[in-house]
Amino acid sequence: MSDTNEGLSASGRHAPQPFSQPQMPPQAPGPRGPVARRSSWLDQAPRTLDVAARAVCLLAGVGLLVTGLVGLFSDVDEGVLALVLGIGVLLLITPSIIDRIRSTRLGQFEVQLVRQVAASARRAANSLQRLGLGRELDAYATIYTELRGPELKNVRAMVLDRIIERVAGAAVVEKFDQDEVKAMFREGTPIVRVLALGLMEGDPSLIDGEILLEAVSRPLTGNEQYHALRLVRDEWNRLSPAEHAALRSAIDASPHLKDGSARGDVARQIRALHG
């Protein structure tokens, strides 16, 4: 309640007021003409660009899928064909993935990959953040988690390869602690285990024979075994004769390393190595 006595008579009652027309509050002059039209366009621009980007994704995705299907009936390299089909599928589902990420960004869905790394390797996580990879890796990991189903297996592999590529690049310019990398593998989630292998790819001095043997013989995912096999093949000369023998035995005993698969091809290359 107001404490002022304005408008009261000596008796305490409201004094009669002369009749007057109600006064409208002053209106601030608004933009007119080209300025108003420009403001309206700027307000609509983000939505317009979003719709345009979705249309481009869908059209490009359909075009790549059609190209891939045509390639099935022509003499086209299978690797190129799989890449074209995979990118086409990814472009088609990208709008729906982005919608889910936006709708749950403040909820439980967003994958905090660097935070998972920090659970077992705080300094490694800080290094990734300092190199500006935190949000990028989290975004890739969120998309990777969303790509479910056997028909998206190749697309998932491409997204994970991108994550590994970025982590390996970080290990080239930043020195990571070997004990932390081993802890990432032994204590981390399946995707963090693969990240540890990615750091070894970028800096071979981080390689540990026991880690590679575990990743080859008891992998949590096929991607983990694949990247471990690549490390074994590429850094064969860094490993001891005893590690060579143990890894060859693990490769021979693995039921997943059949000829024709990507992992099987790398395993065959390892068997052909000397030492």
Mean pLDDT of 58-73: 67
Nearest to 87 by CA among 62, 53, 56: 62
Percent of the chain past pLDDT 70, that is, above it, reads 61
Computed over every residue of the chain, the mean pLDDT equals 76
Exposed/middle/buried for residue 114 (C-beta within 10 Å: 0-12, 13-18, 19+): buried
Give residue 15's pLDDT band: very low, low, confident or very high (50, 70, 90): very low
Q: DSSP letter at 204?
A: G
Give residue 114's pLDDT band: very low, low, confident or very high (50, 70, 90): confident
Q: What is the pLDDT of residue 68?
A: 65
Min mean pLDDT across 34-48, 69-83, 216-230 is at: 34-48
pTM: 0.62
Mean pLDDT of 100-129: 71
Quickly count: other Cβ atoms within 10 Å of residue 79's Cβ: 9
Measured in whole angstroms, the distance separating CA 50 from the mean position of its chain's CA atoms is 20
Q: Are 117 and 188 in contact, with CB atoms under 8 Å apart?
A: yes
Q: DSSP letter at 177?
A: P
Give residue 51's pLDDT band: very low, low, confident or very high (50, 70, 90): low
Q: What is the pLDDT of residue 179?
A: 95
Mean pLDDT of 118-127: 90
> How far is 165 from 192, CA to CA, in rounded Å?
14
Q: Which amino acid is at 21?
A: Q
Q: What is the pLDDT of residue 140?
A: 75
* Domain limits, the chain: 207-275
Q: What is the pLDDT of residue 104?
A: 44
CA separation, residue 83 to residues 103, 122, 139, 159, 169 (Å): 30, 36, 21, 12, 23
Collapsed DSSP state (helix, strand, coil) of residue 22: coil
CA separation, residue 159 to residues 6, 144, 145, 147, 200 (Å): 72, 6, 10, 9, 19
> How far is 98 from 92, CA to CA, in rounded Å?
11
Q: Are 58 and 95 in contact, with CB atoms under 8 Å apart?
A: yes
> How far is 182 from 93, CA to CA, in rounded Å?
35
Q: Which residues pair with 8 in a beta bridge?
A: 14
Measured in whole angstroms, the distance separating CA 133 from the mean position of its chain's CA atoms is 11
To the nearest 10 degrees (0 to 180), the angle between helices 153-173 and 78-103 is 80
> How far is 84 from 275, CA to CA, in rounded Å?
38
128-185 pLDDT, tens digit per residue, is 989 888 888 887 777 777 777 776 777 778 888 888 999 999 999 999 999 999 999 9
Q: Which of 103-107, 144-148, 227-231 has the highest mean pLDDT?
A: 227-231
To the nearest 10 degrees (0 to 180), the angle between helices 113-120 and 134-146 is 110
Nearest to 263 by CA among 242, 236, 241, 232: 232
Nearest to 216 by CA among 264, 261, 265, 254: 254
